[in-house]
């Protein structure tokens, strides 16, 4: 009887979580979907050779800085939006796993958050491909895929580990400081912008397994996917462990 009761407990927990929080799950999916649409659109604007902006700017660092400003602003807008305020604006499985570790998210909620984040990542790139067509498929854009740079996957792994660690440690420190807590989204967005500007040549700057997977599925590009599925969660969980201690 005890063994037979376990599936019922799991089923009841899953059903209860869905009934209570399905709007938040959809919001998480929508948030990452919006982020991916923005990433694809700005990648076309800044990197496609036919773009007037791309033809005007001949400086790689400046181009990356503009991309960082665009995506950092997108992240900030999502975090401070009604959607982000209600769901917590994770839109990243690594963030959700970290909050699960910290006891801030229930296990079933974490599972659904992560599942919907992956769906949102894929959906966002698909929408972008429908709207932008061959522009987003061009090799210079490649559906805004995150790939290791010339230094290879090992350095990409280390870079993703470090930037994910720093981001989560900053988020935990700032969000738990009374004077700064309400500005946590600004700190996160500023780090995203900085990383895209300076770190993206090493790893493509992901910090987000669902973000990388969304581009990979549509682009059919699976290069070093393990980097983006392991380094961000490890980096953020390490930051949480240090914060706890």
3 state DSSP class of 49 = coil
pLDDT in single tens digits along all 245 residues of the chain: 344 445 577 788 888 888 888 999 999 999 999 999 999 999 999 999 999 999 999 999 999 999 999 999 999 999 999 999 999 999 999 999 999 999 999 999 999 999 999 999 999 999 999 999 999 999 999 999 999 999 999 999 999 999 999 999 999 999 999 999 999 999 999 999 999 999 999 999 999 999 999 999 999 999 999 999 999 999 999 999 999 98
- Picking from 47, 42, 41, 74, the residue whose alpha carbon sits closest to that of residue 60 is 47
d(CA 92, CA 77): 16
Lookup: tokens for 219: 């682009």
Determine contact, residues 28/117, Cβ cutoff 8 Å.
yes
Which pLDDT does position 18 carry in this prediction? Answer: 85
d(CA 176, CA 178): 6
**DSSP state letters, 17-52:** HHHHHHHHHHHHHHHHHHHHHHHHHHHHHHH-TT-H
d(CA 108, CA 25): 11
CA atoms 76, 82, 85, 86: torsion sign: negative
Determine contact, residues 129/40, Cβ cutoff 8 Å.
yes
Q: Does an H or E element contain 182, and which?
A: none
Which pLDDT does position 10 carry in this prediction? Answer: 78
Measure the CA angle with vertex 125, ends 85 and 133; round to 5°. 135
Determine contact, residues 78/31, Cβ cutoff 8 Å.
yes
Determine contact, residues 128/143, Cβ cutoff 8 Å.
yes
Question: pTM (2 decimals)?
Answer: 0.93
Between the two ends of the chain, the Cα-to-Cα distance in Å is 41
Half-sphere exposure of 115 (CA within 13 A, CB side): 11
- What is the residue whose two structure tokens read 């694809």? 40
Q: How far from 24 is each of 51, 109, 113, 115, 116, CA to CA, in Å?
A: 37, 9, 8, 12, 10
């Amino acid at each position: 009887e005890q063994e037979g009761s376990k599936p019922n407990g799991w089923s009841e927990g899953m059903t209860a979580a869905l009934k209570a929080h399905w709007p938040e799950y959809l919001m998480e999916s929508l948030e990452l979907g919006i982020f991916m649409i923005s990433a694809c659109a700005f990648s076309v604007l800044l990197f496609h050779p036919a773009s007037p902006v791309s033809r005007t700017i001949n400086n790689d660092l400046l181009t990356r800085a503009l991309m960082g400003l665009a995506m950092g602003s997108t992240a900030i807008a999502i975090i401070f939006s009604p959607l982000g305020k209600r769901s917590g604006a994770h839109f990243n499985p690594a963030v959700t796993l970290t909050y699960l570790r910290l006891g801030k998210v229930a296990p079933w909620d974490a599972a659904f958050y992560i599942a919907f984040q992956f769906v949102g990542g894929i959906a966002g790139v698909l929408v972008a491909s429908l709207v932008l067509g061959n522009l987003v498929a061009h090799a210079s854009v490649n559906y805004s895929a995150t790939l290791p740079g010339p230094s290879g996957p090992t350095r990409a792994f280390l870079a993703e580990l470090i930037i994910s660690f720093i981001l989560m440690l900053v988020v935990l420190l700032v969000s738990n400081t009374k004077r700064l807590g309400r500005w946590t989204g600004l700190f996160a967005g500023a780090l995203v912008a900085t990383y895209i500007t300076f770190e993206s040549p090493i790893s493509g700057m992901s910090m987000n397994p669902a973000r990388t997977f969304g581009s990979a599925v549509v682009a059919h590009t699976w290069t070093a996917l393990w980097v983006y599925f392991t380094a961000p969660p490890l980096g953020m969980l390490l930051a949480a462990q240090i914060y706890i201690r």
